[in-house]
A = this chain, B = another copy of it.
Amino acid sequence: MVSTVTPAQTPIDSEPLSPTAFLDRAILAYADRTAVIDGGDRWTYAEFGDRCQRQAGMLADLGVKQGHRVGVLAPNGHLLLEAHYGVLYAGAVLVALNTRLAAEELRYIVDHAGCDLILAGEGCEDLAHAAAGADTKVITAETYERLISESQPYRATPGDERAMIALNYTSGTTGRPKGVMYHARGAYLQALAMTIHWKLADHSVFLWTLPMFHCNGWCFTWAVTAVGGTHVCLPRPDPERVWDVIAAEGVTNLCGAPTVLTSLVYHPLAAPVARPLAVAVGGAPPTPALLERCGELGLNVTHLYGMTETFGPIVLCEWQPSWDQLSAPDQASRRARQGIANLVTTSVRVVDPTGGDVPRDGQTIGEIAVRGNTVMLGYYQDLEATRLAVPDGWLRTGDLAVMHHDGYLEIRDRSKDIIISGGENISSVEVEAALASHPAVLEVAVVAKPDPKWGERPMAWVTLKEDATATPDELRRHVRTTLAAFKVPDDVVFAELPKTTSGKVRKAELRERAARSNTTATSRSLT
């Protein structure tokens, strides 16, 4: 054996990865293809690229420098999309703000992020002014158009690929939102993974039903551009508009939370799609019933899992050919599994409290832990919270799951949503799926209610489909057909579900209501 030889000192540098490279290339490669459709406006990649570089020029003219934070408060539309390139071209940090928040909440974020400037989209001007501090400049949509037409295109050379390029605040069902720092390397790689997993190409037409201010639209803001696909913008995912646009523009891809998908597929306009439509669903586990309904409409649904801290989807349910042989409900239950790490995510595990792997038995519950290039840099200005979330190099997600023998994970619950009754864990997700399989049920949430005897008992909040009827006892009996008696909710209440601005059910609020509720436990005769 000869001795080890390391590569000679090389005069050839590594180049930093940056998602702006995708637009640099699209300007040449897809010059004449349609980049963006927003209402009556359409721009080619040559035009879109020019607008983004002028946005960077405008920001430079306004004094925005390397590392400055630029807030954008805008619905899904060209302005916010342009900021995904313009702000980065300027060397600054994009803070995409959630338009559904109240002025006070936004003011906290703008102040915490230290935004120099807020770009306000149409209809967001007043909220932006209310959210801005005394030192924060607000540029309205109208002024923006004038300024970019007067600015010169600009493009800073990409720097360190682990530098912060975006700051995304958690929607936080409890507590103050935290600022999740995204690095250019993660955004670049995650965009490539989304491109490959959703088979995006220059013929792809991506409909923005997912807010771009969530994880930068799961990095699809960059992925669609990488392959020269078309971004179709909608300010809100109104089901009627969505079904119209799907037909009119030949939409091939859309994404959203289960609540968005529910509003779509149970809408009167819902009908089997004419052209293949790939739907990525995440943000909360979809029920098997929802997935079955999507199947009826011919939607090709991929279920995925991720969080703000992981640039969006890091786990997805890769279909196994052997599953083709299963019955429809069994297929839906497979599809409801979160699955395996995406192509660029180094590793996803389910760990016990000591950090060791749980057995691959599909039963032992542990916490999902992630490591890799699609994990955030940390929480902005909060090293302590970062260290708590990543105690040993592995990001603890706060989500509880089991690992199946084939390496596919399945979420059982958020750690704070698990119900512990008489020492037994009850997965709220499991009970919700059982309830949702009843034909009258549209949406459901199950939370823990304090109980003097059992510690906690499951309590269900249900919304029925239009014109459908069912009684609490009927639903409880339905749950008992598939689950153990101790998992059947004692209380079933019909009500609207309170939701966060991102469409997640506010379980914390339901838990509070449950604790205050004076419903007496109905007979537990089902035991």
Whether A274 is near chain B, meaning CB under 8 Å from some CB there, is no
* Residues of B with C-beta under 8 A to A366: none
Using known A-B contacts A13-B393, A14-B373, determine if residue A22 contacts B343 with beta carbons closer than 8 Å: yes
Q: With A4-B66, A9-B383, A12-B386 as given contacts, are A340 and B28 in contact (CB-CB < 8 Å)?
A: yes
Inter-chain CA distance A192–B408, complex, in Å, is 23
A232 interface hit (Cβ, 8 Å):
no
Q: Closest B residue to A111 by CB, please name it.
A: B2
* A406 in contact (CB, < 8 A): yes
Which residues from chain B contact A497 at a C-beta distance below 8 Å? none
Name A403-454 residues within 8 Å CB distance of B: 406-408
| A210-218, A314-322, A327-335, A514-522 - interface stretch | A314-322
Contact of A8 among B13, B21, B31, B381 (CB under 8 A): B381
Instruction: Flag if A7 contacts B201 (CB, 8 Å).
Output: no
B contact residues around A25 at 8 Å (CB):
340-341, 343
Nearest B residue to A15, CB-CB: B346
CA A192 – CA B386 in complex, angstroms? 31
- Chain B's closest residue to A181 (CB) is B7
Contact with A12, one of B164, B321, B395, B408 (Cβ below 8 angstroms) = B395
Residue of B nearest to A8 (CB): B383
A264: chain B residues within 8 A (beta carbon): none
**Please, how many angstroms separate the alpha-carbon atoms of A346 and B157 in the complex?**
12
Docked Cα-Cα span, A10 to B201, in Å, equals 35
Pick the contact of A31 from B31, B227, B383, B406 — CB < 8 Å? B406
Give the docked Cα–Cα distance between A168 and B348 (Å): 34
Chain B residues whose CB sits within 8 angstroms of the CB of A320 once the complex forms: 31-32
- Shortest CB-to-CB span from A431 to chain B, Å, is 29
Which residues, 1 to 36 on A, are CB-close (under 8 Å) to B? 1-2, 4-15, 17, 21-22, 25, 28-33
Check B318 against A135 for contact (C-beta < 8 Å). no
Does A199 sit at the interface, judged by CB under 8 A? Answer: yes
A301 sits at the interface (CB 8 A): no
Residues of B within 8 A of A322 (CB): 32
B201 in contact with A11 (CB, 8 Å) = no
Interface status of A387 (Cβ within 8 A of chain B): yes
> A390 on the interface (CB 8 Å rule)?
yes
Cα distance, A162 to B13, chains bound together (Å): 10
Q: Are A15 and B372 in contact (CB under 8 A)?
A: yes
Query: Is A377 located at the chain interface by the 8 A CB criterion?
Result: yes
Name which residue of chain B comes closest to A162, CB basis. Answer: B14
Interchain CB contact (< 8 A) of A14 among B1, B29, B67, B185: B185
Known: A32-B321, A343-B22. A377 touches B4 (CB 8 A): no
**Given A114-B5, A227-B196, is A10 in contact with B65 using a C-beta cutoff of 8 Å?**
no
Cβ contact within 8 Å between A12 and B116: no
- Interface: A378 (CB within 8 A): yes
Task: Indicate if the CB atoms of A6 and B407 lie closer than 8 Å.
Answer: no
Contacts of A183 in B (CB 8 A): 7
CB-based nearest B residue for A21:
B346
Report if A260 contacts B (CB, 8 A).
Answer: no
Contact of A67 among B5, B28, B29, B387 (CB under 8 A): B5
Contact with B along A339-350 (1 / 0, CB 8 A): 011010010000
A378 lies within 8 A of B321 (CB): no
- Given A4-B68, A199-B199, answer yes or no on A12-B393 (Cβ-Cβ < 8 Å): yes
**Measured CA separation A322–B393 after assembly (Å):** 50
Judge whether B28 and A390 touch: CB under 8 Å: no
**A28 nearest CB neighbor, chain B only:** B407
- Add 16 more A-B contacts to A6-B163, A7-B183, A15-B346 (CB < 8 A): A2-B116, A2-B135, A5-B114, A5-B381, A7-B378, A8-B383, A11-B386, A12-B375, A12-B376, A12-B390, A12-B395, A13-B393, A17-B373, A22-B343, A28-B406, A227-B343
